[in-house]
């Protein structure tokens, strides 16, 4: 009991004394928990065909909130990056974010094959990234290149593939605005993850900045990307539901 109390006091001291990584773990947990509650509650305000989209948005932020709760405690107690926890979170939430692209375009004709390709690409990206990050400096560049190929395929699908074609043919201004914002998330928001990977020792950007600050960037990117994705989906669901009622 005394050991647990001491660990809690050490963690609290890190937050009080302005450890930016500890603070972003705490903020990320609270922000994503609040977002999950919001998305679940708002399912009742949209048309039936959009309820699943908001459910998935709630699951993404809810799953992330649970993982951030444990990642926060792990970091506060050890001072180390919770790599395994983070990849478990990404393995669950990133494919669900790809599901959002499918659900977003499903009312306009998206097929299951598109969903399958996006999920396979996301899992390939994450599995190879995890192997590269945990296998040592001798092979992390090779695994990083393979992981980037999965990421680039998702970018291709969103900009030029089935998702892009369905969005262009939908004649929905709300969907058009949403796809524009999601493209920004994919290209700018998601880019922090391969950049963080390349900063690892022995990689292409090794020494560009402190490895210890990677968690700071990851925490901010996770909150912005996951909550932002959900809010974009929510805006389309509300706009399309209101159109159907008019």
Q: Which residues of 95-113 are buried (b: 16+ CB within 10 A; e: fewer)?
A: bbbbbbbbbbbbbeebeee
Q: How many residues does the chain have?
A: 246
Range with the largest mean pLDDT of 133-147, 201-215, 226-240: 226-240
Domain residue spans of the chain: 2-245
Q: Residues 156, 124: contact at Cβ < 8 Å? A: no
Lowest mean pLDDT among 4-8, 39-43, 97-101, 218-222: 4-8
Which residues have a Cβ under 8 Å from the Cβ of 231 and sit 6 or more positions away? none
The 3-state DSSP class for residue 52 equals: helix
Nearest CA among 219, 188, 91 for reference residue 147 = 91
Structure confidence by residue, pLDDT tens digits, 183-200 = 888 888 888 787 777 777
Is CATH 1.20.1070.10 the right assignment for the domain spanning 2-245?
yes
């Amino acid at each position: 009991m005394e050991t647990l109390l001491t660990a809690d006091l050490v963690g609290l001291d890190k937050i009080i004394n302005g450890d930016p990584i500890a603070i972003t773990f705490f903020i990320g947990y609270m922000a994503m928990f609040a977002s999950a509650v919001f998305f679940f509650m708002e399912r009742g305000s949209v048309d039936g065909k959009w309820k699943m989209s908001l459910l998935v948005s709630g699951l993404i932020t809810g799953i992330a909130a649970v993982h951030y709760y444990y990642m926060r405690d792990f970091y506060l107690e050890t001072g180390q990056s919770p790599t395994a926890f983070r990849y478990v979170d990404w393995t669950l939430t990133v494919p669900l974010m790809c599901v959002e692209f499918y659900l977003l375009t499903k009312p306009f004709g998206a097929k299951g094959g598109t969903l399958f390709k996006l999920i396979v690409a996301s899992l390939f990206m994450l599995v190879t990234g995890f192997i590269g990050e945990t296998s040592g400096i001798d092979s992390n560049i090779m695994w990083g290149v393979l992981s980037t190929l999965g990421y680039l395929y998702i970018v291709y699908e969103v900009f030029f593939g089935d998702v892009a074609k369905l969005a262009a043919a939908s004649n929905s201004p709300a969907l058009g605005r949403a796809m524009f914002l999601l493209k920004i998330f994919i290209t700018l928001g998601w880019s922090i993850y391969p950049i963080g990977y390349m900063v690892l020792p022995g990689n292409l950007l090794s020494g560009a900045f402190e490895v210890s600050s990677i968690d700071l960037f990851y925490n901010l990117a996770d909150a912005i990307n996951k909550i932002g994705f959900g809010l974009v989906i929510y805006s389309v669901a509300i706009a399309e539901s209101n159109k159907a009622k008019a």
